[in-house]
DNA sequence: CAGTGGTCTAGACCACTAG
DNA sequence: TAGTGGTCTAGACCACTGG
């Protein structure tokens, strides 16, 4: 006995149609950021499919960053993205305030570790040398948006972790307490899926696409001062960058 | 009658364990880029779960960019990422060759359209003015990696589309035929899910995370010359950028 | 408590790929 | 033809949220 499927072969998959329907509603403005979308059961009934099929449509849109799901509450249209410059690092706190939002920083951890092979190479120190580690969670209006970990050679900034203001601007502390001014940096931007750690702190599902920034910052002499990697919620952030020197082909 | 589930409540979900197992195998090197991973049925049997549960683990890892699935063939570990500079735009062809790979460009479309409100603003032309549109697919070793669409005011480069070499370097053509040299550009980088169009040309599933670049390039006088948006496969690309001028907080 | 999303099963038919 | 992934069903129990 054949199981009845509510579509003919070679037609658009059913979960695809539901997804398209929801996307259209978002584009037209019927569904706005923050709105609740119909529940899995409601969609299943509306489109005459099983709950698992409706669920797949919602899961796809969630993984894509269009929707956010909250157990026990419902599924909601995701808010719009914030923008951050890769060129002038004006700092998170300053940057968010300028947009009229409320920034908050939570220091998750501070300590020191031996550099190890990989970081020793990037920071131009010995593999046994001590690095300060500073892990901070950046929140906007109470919502965690970025997870930043910075590594600084302890030799360059003795007793760094006892300084005040680390929850605001690390660069400000480096400048005011140690006379270290960062002059330039190399950065790498990529998409990575959230791992367990990022997932927990940013409160997104594991595997959610995040923007990962890796940065090596140097002072005017070219000496590496900071190695940092940051994870930004891909559904909430976009980066801007300016090219001034253009190399011809 | 209760359905038997092969785990106690409050324990790690089964699909999660399978995912972790595969990730560990990839990290340890047991599974290398290009390798085939066990099929859905094999994993289901190995972990004593239903096929749908094994499938969810594979789907998660695929959406995250760790795996690639090919119907009728199997599921494979994804290859490693290519790197591209956001600072010196040396051009795709040149860039890929330098890595010892074989670049190829396919012109998908070339024509002209009225600017419209949005693009007129970015390119500083009237909304009725004509723009040339050039859509190109960039491939490496036969695999499509990026989809680029460029818009150039027709007034700046009359008969642009009849020029040769457009499948190589647009900037080279602008420089050699029209004396236009691009001096700087503003770019926006973000993660977006693949839509139907990108999905088809880049041969990835809809919703796959892509890196989207939007660029407005200007000549030395500051006149906007090109508006472009490009979609790069997020699992194959990473961008590098250099900061030289550092703004203090 | 009812409603939500999260997990899981044991089946089914299909399209695609390779030998 | 056998094996793969793609789609889909009709159930089930669970944890979490709110009133």
Whole-number pLDDT of residue B129: 94
Mean pLDDT across the stretch B220-245? Answer: 85
Q: Which residues of A touch B248 (CB under 8 A)?
A: 171-172, 175, 181
Side-chain-side CA neighbours of A194 within 13 Å: the count stands at 25
Percentage above 90 pLDDT, chain B: 50
Q: Are B217 and B196 spatial neighbours (Cβ–Cβ below 8 Å)?
A: no
Opening angle at CA B54, ends B53 and B55, nearest 5: 85
- Close Cβ partners of B111 (under 8 Å, ≥ 6 residues apart): B132, B133, B161
One-character DSSP codes across B98-121: TTT--EEEEEEEEEEEE-HHHHHH
Query: CA A172 → CA A90, A93, A163, A175, A181, distances in Å?
Result: 11, 12, 11, 5, 9
Q: Return the closest nucleotide (C1') to the Cα of B6.
A: C8
Residues B104-155 pLDDT 10s: 899 999 999 999 999 998 999 999 999 999 999 999 888 899 999 999 999 9
**Residue B152 in tokens:** 């150039």
Calpha distance A217→A229 (Å, rounded): 11
Distance B3 CA to D11 C1' (A): 10
Calpha distance B60→A207 (Å, rounded): 7
Calpha distance B40→B58 (Å, rounded): 8
Instruction: Pick from A241, A244, A245, A247 the residue to mutate for testing the B interface (most B CBs within 10 Å).
Output: A241
Alpha carbon dihedral A163, A168, A172, A176, in 10-degree steps, equals -30
Q: Which residues of A touch B83 (CB under 8 A)?
A: 188
Shortest distance between the Cα of A249 and any Cα of chain B, in A, equals: 5
CB contact under 8 A, B63 and A193: yes
Identify, with chain letter, the residue nearest to nucleotide D10 (CA–C1').
Answer: A50
Q: Which among B63, B86, B181 is the nearest to A207, CB-wise?
A: B63
Q: Which residues of A touch B89 (CB under 8 A)?
A: 243, 246-247
Calpha distance B159→B156 (Å, rounded): 10
Whole-number pLDDT of residue B247: 46
Q: What phi, psi does B79 have (nearest 5°)?
A: -70, 170
Percentage above 90 pLDDT, chain A: 49
Number of residues that this document lists for chain A: 249
Whole-number pLDDT of residue A39: 93
Mean pLDDT across the stretch A75-96? Answer: 75
Q: How many CB pairs below 8 Å do chains A and B form together? A: 163
């Amino acid at each position: 006995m054949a199981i009845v499927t509510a579509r003919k072969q070679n037609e658009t998959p059913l979960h695809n149609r539901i997804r398209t329907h929801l996307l259209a509603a978002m584009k037209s403005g019927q569904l706005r950021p923050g709105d609740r979308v119909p529940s899995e059961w409601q969609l299943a009934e509306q489109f005459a499919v099983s709950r698992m099929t409706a669920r797949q449509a919602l899961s796809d849109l969630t993984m894509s960053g269009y929707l956010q799901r909250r157990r026990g509450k419902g599924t909601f249209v995701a808010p719009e993205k914030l923008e951050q410059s890769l060129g002038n690092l004006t700092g998170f706190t300053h940057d968010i305030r300028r947009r009229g939002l409320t920034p908050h920083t939570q220091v998750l951890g501070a300590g020191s570790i031996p550099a190890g092979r990989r970081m020793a190479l990037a920071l131009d120190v010995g593999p046994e040398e001590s690095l300060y580690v500073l892990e901070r969670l950046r929140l906007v209006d109470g919502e965690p948006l970025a997870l930043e970990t910075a590594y600084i050679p302890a030799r360059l900034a003795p007793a760094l972790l006892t300084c005040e203001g680390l929850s605001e601007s690390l660069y400000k502390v480096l400048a005011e307490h140690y006379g270290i001014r960062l002059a330039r940096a190399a950065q790498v931007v990529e998409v990575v899926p959230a791992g367990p750690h990022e997932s927990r702190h940013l409160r997104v599902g594991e595997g959610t696409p995040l923007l990962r920034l890796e940065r090596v910052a140097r002072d005017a002499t070219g000496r590496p001062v900071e190695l940092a990697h940051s994870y930004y919620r891909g559904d909430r952030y976009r980066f801007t960058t300016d090219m001034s020197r253009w190399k011809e082909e």
